[in-house]
Every structure is written in structure tokens, then in C-alpha cells.
């Protein structure tokens, strides 16, 4: 599937997102801060650069990647599946902490970078 290079989407707001994962048999709660809410985007995307800016280390081995915190805790297991990496999560109840975004529509190519 080819992405439309001229596609744009609107950012509605920023919010913190809490979800559960399981790594090596251990359940983890993961908090992603200032996630952009874009209801017209069909997939949820996690930015590798945003994770590493926050101090998360990512290790890629074969068809698996592992996200590790500064304290050495493995938090997210990421599986390669047909041209994309997938994170299996169990969603948690939404939080109340919301921030309205003043951003205008963003070109799809910016997200791809």
C-alpha cells in the first residue's frame, strides 16, 4: 500500500496515554506523554525518535525490538509484521489530563520522517 504524499491530518489535542503491555511474561504499564490525537489517522503510531529523546533505548534483533527505560526496565516488545512493527497493547481507561493543541494540519510526510 502506498501512502499519499500529499495527505494531511488534523491534530485535535495532546494527551498522555497509559496502556498495558507484556514483556517476557511480566505485565507493564506504559505512559506515553503528549501523544497527538488525530482521529482521521487510521493507525496508532509511536515515534522512535520521541522515545529515544525521552531516554528510552531501543534494541532491534531479527523481527523483534525491545524498548528499555533509563533504569533498565523492558517496557515494550515490538514485533515486525509485514513492513511495520506492531505493539500489542491492552488499553486502559482514558485519563483526564488533556491539552488542546494549537497545531494546524500536518503533512503525512512529516510523520513518516
HSE, CB side, 13 Å, CA atoms: give it for residue 26.
Answer: 8
Please compute the mean of the pLDDT values over residues 68-92 and round it to a whole number.
83
In this structure, the strands spanning 106-107 and 98-100 are unpaired
Question: What are the structural domain ranges in the chain?
Answer: 10-55+87-112
CA distance 112 to 92: 27
DSSP state of 39: T
pLDDT at 97: 47
Q: Please state whether the predicted TM-score (pTM) of the whole model is above 0.75.
A: no
Percentages helix, strand, coil for the chain (3-state, rounded to 5) are: 10, 50, 40
At 36-56, the pLDDT tens digits run: 888 777 777 788 888 888 899
Amino acid at each position: 500500500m502506498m501512502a499519499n504524499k500529499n495527505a494531511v491530518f488534523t491534530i485535535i489535542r495532546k494527551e498522555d496515554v497509559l496502556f498495558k503491555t507484556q514483556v517476557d511474561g511480566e505485565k507493564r504499564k506504559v505512559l506515553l506523554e503528549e501523544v497527538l490525537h488525530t482521529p482521521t489517522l487510521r493507525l496508532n503510531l509511536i515515534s522512535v525518535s520521541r522515545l529515544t529523546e525521552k531516554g528510552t533505548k531501543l534494541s532491534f534483533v531479527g523481527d523483534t525490538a525491545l524498548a528499555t527505560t533509563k533504569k533498565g526496565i523492558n517496557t515494550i516488545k515490538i514485533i515486525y509484521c509485514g513492513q511495520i512493527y506492531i505493539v500489542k497493547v491492552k488499553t486502559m481507561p482514558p485519563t483526564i489530563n488533556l491539552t488542546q493543541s494549537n497545531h494546524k494540519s500536518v503533512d503525512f510526510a512529516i510523520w513518516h520522517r
